[in-house]
Amino acid sequence: MAEIELFDDEPLHFQHILVYPYPDLRRLWVRAWLPPQRNVSPNVEYRVLNPDGSENNSMVLLAQTDTKLDHTLHLREPILPGATYRMVAELSVGLGQDAELVDRQEFDLILEFRDPEAGEPGFGVGLEALFPSRSPRQESKG
């Protein structure tokens, strides 16, 4: 019987991160794609920074086994429609002081509704691979 290889040993990293503000501008739809890993369940942390650099809110996902993550991150008041916020995404392995940072991505996002159903661009990293016909103007790595 032939064995089917499900892992291609791609290093652990964020392949794509895609963020859309909801119409109410109080929540963010956050999607991330990771390569499949053997015996590794990474942690994912998202932090949203206010325009002044202070932290607005964060979300920590421990020991993720999925390769496609789909979550909603709520923003704290006050929100500033039209302002530029900063998203920080970190990928780590292990817990506590033994945790090892594997990947960190940062990008700006404007707090304005963009309709994914209408094909409007979101914010994130690795978007050119998801939307090859789109201009990379919405993407910025930090």
If you count DSSP H runs as helices and E runs as strands, how many of each does the chain have, helices first?
1, 8
In the chain, the percentage of residues whose pLDDT exceeds 90 is 77
| Residues 112-131: tens digit of each pLDDT | 999 999 989 999 999 887 77
- What mean pLDDT comes out for the span 60-83? 96
Task: Tell me the CATH number at 100.
Answer: 2.60.40.2550
Is 104 inside any structural domain?
yes
* Total domains, the chain: 1
Is 4 inside any structural domain?
no
Is 63 inside any structural domain?
yes
- Per-residue model confidence (pLDDT) at position 137: 47
Question: Within its chain, how far is the Cα of 85 from the centroid?
Answer: 14
Is 6 inside any structural domain?
no
Is 9 inside any structural domain?
no
Average pLDDT, the chain: 89
Is 56 inside any structural domain?
yes
Residue 67, domain extent: 16-138
Is 7 inside any structural domain?
no
pTM for the model: 0.84
- What mean pLDDT comes out for the span 90-101? 93
Closest by Cα among 27, 31, 33, 70 to 48:
27
Residue 102 has pLDDT above 90, yes or no: yes
3-state secondary structure (DSSP) of residue 78: coil
Which residues are within 8 A (CB) of 133 and not within 5 positions of it... i.e. 6 or more apart?
none
